[in-house]
Amino acid sequence: MLHVAHSFAQCDSSWASWGRTTRAVLRDTVPSRFSPHEQGSSNTIAPRAAYNFDGHAIIGFFDPSVSGDGYVALPDVSDVYNVLIIHHADADTDPASPTYGGVKLGTCFSPACTNGNISEADFITAVKDKTSKGKLVALGVFWNFGDNANGTAQAKFIDTVTAIIDKYGFNGLNMNDGGIPFLAVDERDDDFANPTTPAVVNFIATLKTIKSKYGDGFAGYQSYGAYLPVLHAIRGDLSTLILHHFDATDDVLNQAGIKVTQDTTDYWVALVQRPLSGFTVAGKNFPPFRASQIAIGSQLWDLDVVRSSIVTGLKCVMTGEQCGGIRLSGGPFPDFLGAAVLTIEDDEAHNGFFRQTMPPFFQDIAALLPCET
């Protein structure tokens, strides 16, 4: 199955979303039309069996081009990470390029680049080594899906993305709008189960085409903004929704429509409330996702108050203990998937707090839970 990393967020008052939400606003009832998501969460399409790890997911975004403080070469990335999202490929706007109109990998390898951190051959070897250990190594792609409204653009995108995947040996795909506002759906396109807007329909077809090429062992991520119709169409293949909180602009509302204070237990519980509970869109129920499909992410793991609130929030979600004012109906959810950091290099520059905190946290949670019989 595919893997889609997705962020739910609301860029205006028109509807709810989750995620690495930039100004993410969550509501129970969503007005009748789908507006585009702003930067938000991340989704992963694929069953956990597609990448071979037990228990909970430790997810890290990784930029091979980063240097300086926190730099770590891909071969040296800690094996505590089950999922690596490689940043990034983006739109090729050079008319002279053979991949013009599609995407190209942004990493510049040595010796072609004097500041390259790794040779292309060594990078390919490192990817192969990680995947051979059962890791998911996903290609991150920045793409404006408003440009995907016709068959020619769709075909070019598929051809260039799959060429990169094949060359470097990635076993997953992370879709990211790169901060480009998502295209609004057509005026009468208000049924998330039966979308008609060309860019949305083509986006769904694109993901399904890539999935069909690589099969169930391939993971697909859609990150930082996406349409509800897309998520609904691929929910059977979706393995992970990464709900991100990156900075002080990432607001979340509780069930009563009141903004939840950041850096609190309630903030993290509220962040996952809608994907775990479902909500109403244009009079139709948008079904919840499985807890085993959902992860949370943050950039601020080095801050004690943030790290503490994440840990207590996850403990509330997974065990029902240490909750604040918000408790999840139907919980606790001990099979909640995991946690993500942006980026691995930034975490290392800040003493590796995420890498050191989250694996033992999930191990301790597992020890508290009753064994299945």
Model pLDDT for residues 206-264, shown as the tens digit of each residue: 888 988 898 877 776 554 444 688 888 888 777 777 888 876 667 788 877 889 998 89
CA neighbor of 183 nearest in space, from 74, 362, 38, 308? 38
The DSSP bridge partners found for residue 44 are 240
Identify the pLDDT of residue 368. 76
What superfamily does domain 29-368 belong to in CATH? Glycosidases (3.20.20.80)
**For position 174, what pLDDT does the model report?**
81
> What is the DSSP secondary structure assignment for residue 291, as one 8-state letter?
G
Which letter does DSSP use for residue 153 in this model? H
Between 107-111, 180-184, 239-243, 337-341, the lowest mean confidence (pLDDT) is in: 180-184
**Integer distance in angstroms from the first to the last C-alpha of the chain?**
28
3-state secondary structure 266-283: HHHHHHHHHHHHCEEECC
- What pLDDT, in 10s, does the model give residues 158-198? 999 999 999 999 998 887 655 555 566 788 888 889 998 88
Decide if pLDDT at 59 tops 90: yes
Residue 49 has pLDDT above 60, yes or no: no
Is the pLDDT score of 125 beyond 50?
yes
- Domain segments of the chain as ranges: 29-368
